[in-house]
Amino acid sequence: MVKRALDLWWVKRPHLFMSNRTVKIALWNKDPRCHWCKRPTILTNLPYIKGSPDPRMATIDHVVSRYHAQRWVKKQPREKRRVLACYECNHNRSTQETLNIPREEIMKRSQGFSLSPKGKPKIIKPVATIDEALKKLNSSK
């Protein structure tokens, strides 16, 4: 009975278990153009990149910046948070947003999430509103 319920849960929400590669392929099959510059992207299957990546290589880009508190709010139904972008646009957007924010602000905002087991993220699960996210990120604990 429990196994069947889990099976049904999986069928209704397969996107929750998609790898980045699977997401990238799904986005590329839907539209192989970069979300930002509209140039065709190149889908690669390289485990790692030697040297400089192709500027048109397909990547997954987050619409909401990693520094913005909205990133920690539960997404709305049908809300698009990840898009297909060429490496050049993805890299340039990331670089520009990082350069335009003071280091202290970057450190403050980046506390919402940590890949390090030693890190102490302030937000582990998405919250309901942006006010809730800001309150948690601005708390001293």
**Res. 130: pLDDT tops 80:** yes
pLDDT tens digits, one per residue of 72-127:
788 888 888 999 999 999 999 999 988 888 877 776 666 655 544 455 666 667 88
Query: Domain spans of the chain?
Result: 19-138
What confidence score (pLDDT) does residue 122 get? 64
| Contact (Cβ atoms closer than 8 angstroms) between residue 109 and residue 133 | no
